[in-house]
Structure 1
Amino acid sequence: MWTRRPTCAVPLLSSVLDQYDATHARELALYRSWLAVALADANEPQQAAAEAQRVIDLSGDLSSDRTAERTRVVLQRLQPFADVPEVRQVLTEHGRLLLAGEGATP
């Protein structure tokens, strides 16, 4: 059975991200989205919010359905932490991205 182990995932994802350069924006956005979710799962909402912002910044110029969906996943995962100022700011500024996926079929 698969179980979430965010405290193991965070250093692994961070290590992978250290190896990518900015020319791989889509891959960086995807890996950062997984890191943001792992940080949220590890109860690190401030760091998760910072990664969420990086995901949004990286994916803004991409026309990728996958990065758009991952951005929505990250924002959804941050919602339980909406009382944390850094999270509230990301959700306030980019919460509209959650609506972009409504009604879409997988």
Structure 2
Amino acid sequence: MVIALPVVLTVLFLAVQAGTWFHARSIALASAQSGARTSAMLNSSLEAGLSSARSFAADVGGTTLTGVTVTGDRTATSTTVTVTGHSVRLVPFMDVTVSQSATLPVERYTR
């Protein structure tokens, strides 16, 4: 029992840590997609997309996704938004960083 209980608790904490990492990853991806959609709209800008991604991450992320940084790039044909943050840490000494990006074509008039 002395050997089995710490092993079982460690496996349990690692499983819960994996679940929180996956949830934080999903929030980061949804934030990046929201920012890319906003930035890709006709007559929109990269700043609008970055603001949308930050707002989404703050509203939905709560304590699950913290330390969020949003970066991006927009050219004449495509826009990319990247959201990076940290997931909740349940296992000591384990830094869980999450980074997701989304790329979409920019809406524009063509001939």
Q: TM-score, normalised by structure 1?
A: 0.29
| Bigger radius of gyration | 2
Q: Higher strand fraction: Structure 1 or Structure 2?
A: 2
Q: TM-score, normalised by structure 2?
A: 0.28
